[in-house]
Structure 1
Amino acid sequence: MFEFRNLLKLLALAVLFSGKSAVAADISVSTTNGTSGTKQSIVDIAGDMAVGDILRFKQISKSLPPQTIVRLDSPGGSLLAGIEIGKVIAASGFATSVSDTCASSCALAWLAGAPRILASSARVGFHLAYKSNVDQSESGAGNALVGSYVTGLGFGENVVRYITSAAPDDMQWLSSRDADLLGIDIVVSDSRAVRSATKESSPDDSDSMDPSTAAAELIKSIILSTAYSDAKALETVRSLYADRVLYFGKMKSRQDVYSDKVKYLRRWPYRTVSLRDETISASCRYSHCKVTGIYDWGVGNAKGRRKSGSAVFIYEFEVSDTIQITAEGGEVLSRY
């Protein structure tokens, strides 16, 4: 019988692989004595952020109190990882802190903290979203995600313009004066206090997650990451799709699916996706998993043509030594 523990580990690897533009960050939990003598929970995130870190951070955060501090030390990485980790931070009421450097997607995650703590010598930097490490031209869809996220945190258009003002190969470093003018509240702290911690641990997230949850997280990460990155969309087909796929009701070869994706991406270079989490359902039996749900979508091109609506998605995949997506489908529910 196929063991669910193997399924979880393969799913975790696949989620990580779907965001392979960055190496996974080191994420660990520690505790220290607070000022009142109570225990203070701290999560350290160090290194390049990857899409797979979203799932890991979500699982870790479930067992932590609202007073938790998330300490960030990262040059950036996956845009989606920074945004989704930031959403978890905001929803959980966590504080964020930086002792050294937090840039790009890391800075977006830092913005979600309450409060936002900075050591006196710390640096937080922002720049435009770009398409990939190979193609560093501006990503319109990526910057649309940034704008939606930042306004969702309660900031105005002035903050959105500020954090997307620097070119992809440049950096807008946040100064205390800029923070005051923009209304970004920060707390300056002694860097020694921010760094001090004990009892470090690195939880095994797969032990606390059931296979259906892991399967849902995998498909969610694929849908979200490919929504704004052509490279990720095509790499997902190359690495995770089976040789033959039931593709929107017809059996297709992986190459045929790849070609269809290329045509779609070229036709609609601007894309947005918003998943309706409450509609997502996943089930796994032995080595087979199926994930369904609803998302809201929008597409556009350089000629100004725009379309939007909602749709159902359906994915099925098999897990053996690797993950193989065997079916993808869905239908448009509405257009608006």
Structure 2
Amino acid sequence: MFKHKWSRGGCIVSDFHKLLMLVAISALIMAKSATAADISVSTTSGASGTAQSIVQIVGDMDVEDILRFKQISKSLPPQTIVRFDSPGGSLLAGIEIGKVIAASRFATSVSDTCASSCALAWLAGVPRILSSSAQVGFHLAYKSNLDQTESGAGNALVGSYVTGLGFGDNVVRYITSAAPDDMQWLSPRDADLLGIDIVVSDSRAVRSVTKEIPPSDSEAEDPSTAAAELIKSIIIATGYSDTKALETVRSMYADRILYFGEMKSKNDVYSDKVNYLRRWPYRTVSLRDDTISASCRFSRCKVTGVYDWGVGNAKGRKKSGSAVFVYEFEVSDTIQITAEGGEVLSRY
């Protein structure tokens, strides 16, 4: 999302195609990233002998994992433990997964290593469990894997998230104190001084799995929910990552799309995005969830809503405001975005 004009479109879905669309959309979202984490759900016997739900997240986290985790978490009880073994990955994934953990009041656990964005997600747990040899590390947010310079927008996002968890400025400063290529490893002493409550466990592993828990069938009720989550993930991810913004155009945009009221080729849209990213290297975006709506008909979906935006450059020039966004896409073997548009509501 880069401009603020308007595009048209709309649709309704039949009960029969709801199931088909959700299956197609969910499968495609989950398959989009080759670096997505391995997320599995299981049960084991808890300390009192009752069943204990365990979510295991292993490997690099990516934005596609946000929707997967949200879908899985809806069927799990508050006593769930989320176990991490991850070097990090997408900043947005760590923050958004952490928000779900905090809202669900899940516990978090680390037996080996949880660093970078993984550590941010772990921070949301109640309680936060660590094995005696676990390592949890934090560092500054950076722009991309190709450009590991500090991201002011990313660190602002981290600060807002950590504050929202109830921590003070001292914690924000601590977890953003290490350079992007360095790591601030959390020690029990640091945690105590900072007011980060942790539980140190002598056990390095959760007891063996007794059965697998598949995602709830209730998730197949309405493809519009999946459509809205997909577009939300795209908007937020591309708003903060130049690499993700351009990769989204390459992999998900149709050869020709209705782009802010005009038919454009994918190459023209790509060039427009590149120019925008160069002009405004500092960007923020905040979605207004209560304004977002989605509708689908057969293999086509449309998602609209309102977001607050801000942009800036190295010369100190800044702009901000609110705007409507409109996306349309089709689902076949892949997801193809066929329209993108919007309209400015206000500037401030």
Determine which of 157, 164, 180 is the counterpart of 2:169: 157
Identity of aligned residues (%): 80
Please state if 1:203 is matched with 2:214: yes
Please state if 1:139 is matched with 2:151: yes
Shift of 1:87: 0.2
**SS of match in other structure, 2:125:** coil
Number of matched residues?
333
Please state if 1:70 is matched with 2:56: no
Determine which of 15, 23, 28 is the counterpart of 2:29: 15
1:183-216 CA distance string (max 9 Å, x none)? 1111111224x52142242635787233111111
Alignment of 1:212-227 (within 5 A): 212-227=224-239
Tell me: CA distance 1:262–1:148, structure 2 relative to 1, closer, same or farther (3 Å). Answer: same
RCO (CA 8 Å, sep 6+): is it higher in 1 or 2?
Answer: 2
Shift of 1:250: 1.2
Shift of 1:172: 0.7
1:221-241 CA distance string (max 9 Å, x none)? 100100111111011111111
User: Using the alignment, how far apart are the partners of 1:189 and 1:276 within structure 2?
Assistant: 40
CA contact (8 A) 1:150 1:160 kept: yes
**SS of match in other structure, 1:191:** coil
Structure 2 gap ranges (5+): 1-13
Q: Which amino acid aligns with 1:301?
A: N
**SS of match in other structure, 1:138:** coil
TM-score normalised per structure 1: 0.93
User: Using the alignment, how far apart are the partners of 1:154 and 1:12 within structure 2?
Assistant: 33
Q: Which amino acid aligns with 1:38?
A: T
TM-score normalised per structure 2: 0.90
Tell me: CA distance 1:335–1:294, structure 2 relative to 1, closer, same or farther (3 Å). Answer: same
Q: Cα RMSD over matched residues?
A: 1.9
Aligned to 2:160: 148
Q: Which amino acid aligns with 1:198?
A: V
**SS of match in other structure, 2:178:** coil
Q: Which amino acid aligns with 2:171?
A: V
Tell me: CA distance 1:51–1:200, structure 2 relative to 1, closer, same or farther (3 Å). Answer: farther
CA contact (8 A) 2:45 2:207 kept: no
Q: Select between 195-204 and 143-152 the one with higher mean Cα deviation.
A: 195-204
User: Using the alignment, how far apart are the partners of 2:192 and 2:261 within structure 1?
Assistant: 55
Please state if 1:106 is matched with 2:118: yes
Aligned to 1:190: 202
Please state if 1:24 is matched with 2:36: yes
The structure 1 segments of at least 4 consecutive aligned residues displaced by more than 6 Å after TM superposition are: none
Shift of 1:140: 1.8
Shift of 1:265: 1.0
**SS of match in other structure, 2:75:** coil
Q: Which amino acid aligns with 1:141?
A: A
Shift of 1:34: 2.1
Aligned to 2:3: none
Q: Which amino acid aligns with 2:88?
A: G
Aligned to 1:46: 58
Shift of 1:145: 1.2
**SS of match in other structure, 1:131:** coil
User: Using the alignment, how far apart are the partners of 1:290 and 1:232 within structure 2?
Assistant: 21
User: Using the alignment, how far apart are the partners of 2:210 and 2:134 within structure 1?
Assistant: 25
Q: Which amino acid aligns with 2:284?
A: T
Shift of 1:134: 1.9
Alignment of 1:224-303 (within 5 A): 224-303=236-315
Shift of 1:292: 0.5
User: Using the alignment, how far apart are the partners of 2:118 and 2:226 within structure 1?
Assistant: 24
Q: Which amino acid aligns with 1:46?
A: V
**SS of match in other structure, 2:290:** helix
1:67-105 CA distance string (max 9 Å, x none)? 111111111111111100000000001111111110011
Structure 1 gap ranges (5+): none
